[in-house]
């Protein structure tokens, strides 16, 4: 009995003086518990999400401007993408500065902000530097893209028309490399944050946690612990640049190894397709879906026998139907392309090749369009189009007689379409 009384007394003392678990007082009705403050260092995925939201917001603004004022967007011409970069730089600079408390739309949604590593707000000069470090790869890419377009001439078959891929690799390597840098860095900052003296923190973190994180970041930023992070950054950028360089080298070797007759045919095609002042690109090839073929005067002909092959000529800047109609090179583009392809098919038949997919009629359609481009968003509107019909009787046969018959067939012009006002 004495032993049982002593055991009960000890258990009572344990329960009163040294609880085995923490008991929280129940919340009273209507009482809202204050959320626990988060740590100062945000998650890497949250930072990526904030940047994605910011880019989507810029894209939406650009698309809204193009939709509300399409004529103004078109008049920007080749300067449009540079204006887009300037807008992005201005937006990031404002959002990094004390004017917004270091919070962009994405950072506001995900409860983060940009601060100076010494705290609290990032000065304007460092906000500008951080924004420049964010957008500079886009400027290099745009410069190389416009250079690629400038050297793409019909009488100059060059691998440098693909120089834009170097800019793309540089931009992708910079952004992806900074993600890897932040992942491997002890203080979880990007390289451009190190260069600008900035740091991204959770906006609702506790004061003590913030001061401790900033002190640790200052100490680690001055040490050599970021060597692994820098290696990942440089490896990512260098690897993608080498891959892009190898692609250009392989293209150059392919050009060098082209047979003279094939190179001559490519040169002929480029010269026939060229219309000065426009960029040329194929659009699609599909069976016609219209009711009736406006390329023929015989209503009994089935429209299912006609396949449309469309090509688009694009210009950054205003395009009018009157300008196109007054341009002989533009008005004859569809006819030149039709005759070139017909000659190609005739040569294949003469060589005994069977072309089972060739329809009885091909509608070659050229469209002239104006394009507005604001870096993250673009829109192309067709202004004028013209088409011709090429006929291929018994194309599936391989006799020289069929090829000779194709040579005698004429390319029939299509009724000139009225100027179009719609585009993709």
Collect all residues with Cβ–Cβ distance below 8 Å to 200 and sequence separation of at least 6: 42, 47, 107, 112, 113, 114, 115, 189, 193
pLDDT at 286: 72
Confidence of residue 375 (pLDDT cuts 50, 70, 90): confident
Strands, E assignment, 332-405: 361-373, 378-391
Answer whether residue 233 shows pLDDT above 60: yes
Lowest-confidence segment of 92-96, 152-156, 409-413 by average pLDDT: 409-413
Could you give the angle at the alpha carbon of 246 between the alpha carbons of 242 and 248, nearest 5°? 120
Express each pLDDT in 236-255 by its tens digit: 999 999 999 999 999 999 99
pLDDT at 421: 45
Answer whether residue 222 shows pLDDT above 80: no
Percent of the chain residues topping a pLDDT of 70 = 78
Both tokens of 2, joined, read: 């004495």
pTM: 0.81
pLDDT at 120: 81
pLDDT at 31: 56
pLDDT at 176: 96
pLDDT at 313: 96
Q: Which helix (H) or strand (E) holds 143?
A: helix 124-150
86, 91, 82: which is closest to 58 by C-alpha? 91
pLDDT at 10: 53
Percent of the chain residues topping a pLDDT of 90 = 57
Dihedral pair phi/psi, residue 303, rounded to 5°: -70, -20
pLDDT at 303: 59
Domain boundaries, given as residue ranges, for the chain: 44-256, 260-413
Mean pLDDT, the chain, integer: 83
């Amino acid at each position: 009995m004495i032993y049982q009384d002593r055991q009960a007394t000890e258990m009572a003392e344990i329960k009163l003086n040294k609880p085995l678990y923490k008991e929280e007082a129940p919340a009273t009705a209507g009482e809202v518990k204050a959320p626990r403050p988060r740590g100062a260092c945000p998650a890497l995925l949250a930072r990526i999400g904030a940047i994605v939201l910011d880019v989507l917001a810029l894209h939406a603004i650009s698309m809204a401007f193009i939709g509300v004022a399409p004529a103004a967007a078109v008049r920007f011409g080749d300067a449009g993408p540079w204006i887009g970069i300037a807008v992005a730089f201005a937006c990031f600079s404002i959002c990094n500065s004390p004017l917004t408390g270091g919070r962009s739309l994405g950072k506001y949604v995900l409860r983060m902000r940009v601060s100076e590593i010494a705290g609290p707000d990032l000065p304007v000069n460092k906000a500008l530097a951080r924004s420049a470090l964010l957008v500079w790869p886009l400027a290099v890419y745009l410069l190389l893209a416009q250079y690629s377009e400038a050297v793409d001439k019909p009488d100059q078959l060059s691998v440098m028309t693909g120089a834009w891929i170097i800019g793309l690799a540089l931009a992708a390597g910079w952004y992806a490399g900074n993600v890897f840098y932040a992942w491997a860095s002890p203080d979880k900052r990007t390289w451009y944050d190190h260069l600008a003296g900035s740091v991204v923190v959770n906006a609702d973190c506790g004061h003590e946690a913030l001061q401790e994180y900033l002190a640790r970041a200052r100490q680690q930023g001055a040490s050599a612990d970021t060597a692994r992070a820098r290696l990942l950054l440089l490896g990512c950028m260098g690897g993608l640049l080498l891959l892009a360089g190898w692609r250009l080298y392989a293209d150059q070797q392919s050009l060098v190894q082209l047979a003279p007759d094939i190179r001559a045919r490519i040169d002929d095609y480029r010269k026939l397709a060229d219309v000065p002042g426009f960029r040329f690109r194929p659009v699609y090839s599909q069976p016609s879906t219209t009711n009736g073929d406006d390329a023929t005067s015989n209503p009994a002909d089935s429209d299912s026998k006609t396949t449309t092959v469309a090509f688009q000529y694009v210009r950054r800047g205003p395009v009018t139907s009157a300008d196109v109609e007054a341009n002989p090179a533009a008005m004859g583009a569809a006819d030149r392309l039709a005759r070139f392809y017909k000659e190609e098919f005739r040569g294949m038949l003469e060589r005994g090749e069977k072309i089972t997919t060739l329809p009885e009629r091909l509608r070659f359609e050229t469209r002239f369009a104006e394009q507005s481009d604001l870096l993250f968003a673009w829109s192309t509107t067709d202004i004028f189009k013209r088409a011709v019909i090429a006929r291929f009787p018994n194309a599936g046969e391989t006799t020289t007689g069929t090829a000779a018959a194709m040579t005698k067939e004429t390319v029939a012009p299509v009724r000139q379409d009225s100027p179009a006002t719609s585009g993709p």
